[in-house]
Amino acid sequence: MDLYPFADGKKHSFKCPAPTSYDKYLEHIIKGLKEETPIAYGLHPNAEIDFRTTQCIQIFSALVDLMPKDAQSLDDDGSKKTQKTPNEFAAEQKEIILDDMQLADKVINIQEIKDVLSAGMNPYQNVFVQESQAMNILLREMLSTLRQLDLGLKGQLTISDAMEKLIHSLANGQVPVVWQNRAYPSLRGLGSWLTNLSDRCGQLEEFTRSPDEDMKIIYINRLFNPQSFLTAIKQVKGASEGLELNKLEVFTEVLSKVPAECTAPPPKRDGAYIFGLFVEGARYDFNTK
């Protein structure tokens, strides 16, 4: 009897041995059994790639968790020094985010933008208002959790499970899950993630300074929803020429410019200067353009 009756190819065949002795069964188990394969469960062989990747991530996450957080090390002169405890490291990260990054000042006043655009918003402005609202949700979540953590570390609040998870993430250089749930997709570590967050806030701050003017260049990789801006380009073109949106396509023209050289929006309202598109597994050769 073949235990993989629906598997394609004989190399995946797994047949039950004929009735025999106990010793022969043991010998078959030790020598005759093949390695597990996703095909045995009706899955594609590539399913094992995702399984192994997930397994690897879990192993290394466990190793990070097991690293001693308060072990002693040596200074350059040979004297012992004590590393920061998780609470101390979390408190340090909290100060950096709240004070050095001035997180509270990055919250955007949406009403002021709407007052400036009271006559109406074009598709580009509508995208950036939505982006500002999404960023505010993330920033307020970060401010709320960090302020509660500050009170907890000072003994003014009881350390809750949520605070423990926040401390654990900050101490391990990971983005807390409670922030990830309100943020854009990202695989960055905490330090790189915070730098990227500042860059994203910087673009939104540039918009809020003159919301009634078109931006010179859009860093599309700094948006929560990059596709919405590409749709806005089609909306502007369709409205100006009376074209149906579902019949328009976006074409990309690669320019031999750096973002700093884009000192004004495109001369025609046929599109926008964007930066941040990537070609997976390749690069663009400007020298042969």
Length of the chain as a residue count: 289
221 token code pair: 């990789």
Counting beta carbons within 10 angstroms of the beta carbon of residue 140, is it exposed (0 to 12), middle (13 to 18) or buried (19 or more)?
middle
CATH code, residues 86-288: 1.20.1270.280
| In the block, residue with structure tokens 């982006």 | 131
The label of the residue with tokens 């970060």 reads 142
Sign of the torsion formed by the C-alpha atoms of 94, 99, 101 and 106: positive
**Domain ranges, ordered by start, for the chain:** 10-66, 86-288
CA distance 182 to 139: 9
What is the C-alpha to C-alpha distance for residues 8 and 42, in angstroms, rounded to an integer? 10
CA atoms within 13 A on the CB side of 128: 29
- Closest to 110 measured CA to CA, from 136, 146, 85, 90: 136
Name the phi and psi angles at 53, rounded to 5. -65, -45
pLDDT of the chain along its 289 residues, tens only? 556 655 655 566 666 778 889 998 888 888 877 677 777 777 777 888 888 899 998 898 888 777 665 544 445 555 555 567 888 888 999 999 988 889 999 999 999 999 999 888 999 999 999 999 999 999 999 999 999 999 999 999 899 999 999 998 998 888 999 999 999 999 899 999 999 999 999 999 999 999 988 889 999 999 999 999 999 999 988 888 888 888 888 888 888 888 888 888 887 667 889 998 888 888 777 777 5
In DSSP notation, 119-143 reads T---HHHHHHHHHHHHHHHHHHHHH
Return the SS3 of 82.
strand
| First-residue to last-residue Cα distance in the chain | 63
Q: Distance between CA atoms of 131 and 183, rounded to whole angstroms?
A: 11
Note the pTM of the prediction, 2 decimals.
0.75
Angle at 160 between CA 145 and CA 59, to 5 degrees: 85
